[in-house]
Amino acid sequence: MRRPAPLPVRDGLGPARVRLRGGSVLVELASRFGEAAAEKIRSGEVVTADGSVVGLGTILPPGAFVYLYRELGEEVPVPFDMPVLYRDDDIVVVDKPHFLATMPRGRHVAQTALVRLRRELDLPELSPAHRLDRLTAGVLLFTVRREVRGAYQTMFARGLVDKTYLARAAVSSRELPVVLRSRIVKRRGQLQAFEEPGEPNAETLIEHLGDGLYRLTPRTGRTHQLRVHMAALGLPIAGDPWYPNVVDVAPDDFSAPLQLLAHRLEFDDPLSGERRVFVSSRSLA
């Protein structure tokens, strides 16, 4: 298990963790991230994994880590609310909007559900128990305290949560419901996940509720699983810019959200044993 970061969350954002190639930390950070990173060392703002401040002459071996606060670039604000569906001392459950990433990654940092909630609720240890794609809206669960994080994340990792999604697509001419099983692979650096021959690792129950509205019940949790499976049936989800083909969409274009909603989460609470049910208040166009 990864040890806690040696720097606290600041303004909703934890420190960046940088794995070193080895040698002078000053030289390496300056060559990789520019003068701004080197200036952080001069200002005493870079620390090692044990919290020691990195100095101008600090030498560290290959594979060592240092921590520093990143400089935030400009981000396009996501102009949608994120209602809190439930909150107690252990968890926060929200109704995430489309276009908002779950947690910082790539160009999406401040405009993420995690950072927004840490700032709005003043909960620096808040952490997602699972993830939703940036383009998917719906029920998303966070843990409030570090002590309970593992119990909820393990529950999701072991498939102990019943998840139900709603999606809109063309009206199907094939017989439904159907259980689709396939092998889905997502490779680093590629936008799309894809199916390939081999032992199935993804399973989805697909039901048509009428008028192009579908209920999707995933029994596994592969990346983009629902989007891949619907496209494989010849029923790509409305508004999907990646499946079956990648379409370039401007970062400030919120006009055509992906018609996929994480509608319902249901599980036995790993701490209390209580049956929990959370339902999105959102609807699809």
- 19's tokens: 């794995």
Determine whether 90 is an active site residue.
no
Contact 283, 168 (CB under 8 A): no
Contact 234, 111 (CB under 8 A): no
| Catalytic hit among 81, 133, 162, 248 | 133
Of 114, 107, 127, 93, residue with least CA distance to 2: 127
* Alpha-carbon torsion angle 249, 193, 140, 210, nearest 10: 80
* 251 burial type by CB count under 10 A (0-12 exposed, 13-18 middle, 19+ buried): exposed
Question: Around Cβ 52, how many Cβ atoms within 10 Å?
Answer: 12
Sign of CA dihedral 36, 38, 39, 44: positive
- Residues taking part in catalysis: 133
